Every structure is written in structure tokens, then in C-alpha cells.
Amino acid sequence: MTEQTNNDLREKVQAVLDQIRPNLQADGGDVELLDIVDGVAQVRLQGACHGCPMAAMTLQMGIERILKSEIPEITGIENIPAD
């Protein structure tokens, strides 16, 4: 993937995350896009989402489902916890 293509994909993913963000923030959480590697969006759940028992469901059934439906190049999502 060229750098320009990766940048375009990153912008698309960021735009979708920006649409989802108000719902996460309403529950005290947030999501940060870290990188996209081989079609997998690497994100970090923040705030109340970090460590929440429902975080895996939010990630897979919410964020991943929406990203994959809006951006066919995205094949999955991975939560990268903070160090």
C-alpha cells in the first residue's frame, strides 16, 4: 500500500471514528486511531471504555461492524492497550 493510499484510508477511518465518538463519549469513553496495518485498524479505547467489561463487545459489534460496512478495505480492528 502506498503512503498516499494509507493516508487516504487513515482519513476515512478517522472520519468514521469521529461519527462514532459522541456515542462513546456519552458513556465516558473514547477511541484513538493508532495505525492501520494490513487492513486492520489499530485503536486504543480510552476513558471509561478502557477496562470496561463491555469494551470487547463495543469494539467488535460496534466500532468494527461500522468501520467494515463503511470502509471495505478495513478487515478488522484491534485494541492496543496503553503500556
Q: Over the stretch 33-50, which tens digit does the pLDDT of each residue have?
A: 999 999 999 999 888 777
Q: Which contiguous run of DSSP H or E holds residue 14? A: helix 3-26
Q: In terms of residue numbers, what domain contains 12?
A: 3-79
- pLDDT for the residue 1: 60
Residues of the chain with pLDDT under 70: 1, 4
Q: So what's the pLDDT on residue 55?
A: 74
Structural domain tally of the chain? 1
Between the CA of residue 23 and those of 12, 46, 75, what are the distances in Å? 18, 13, 23
pLDDT score of 4: 67
Structure confidence at residue 73 (pLDDT): 94
Interior/surface letters 55-78, b for 16+ CB within 10 angstroms, e for the rest? beebbeebbbebbbeebeebeebe
Q: How far apart are the first and last CA of the chain?
A: 28
Placement of cell 485503536 in the chain: 43
CATH code of 69's domain: 3.30.300.130
The pTM of the full predicted model, rounded to 2 decimals, is 0.84
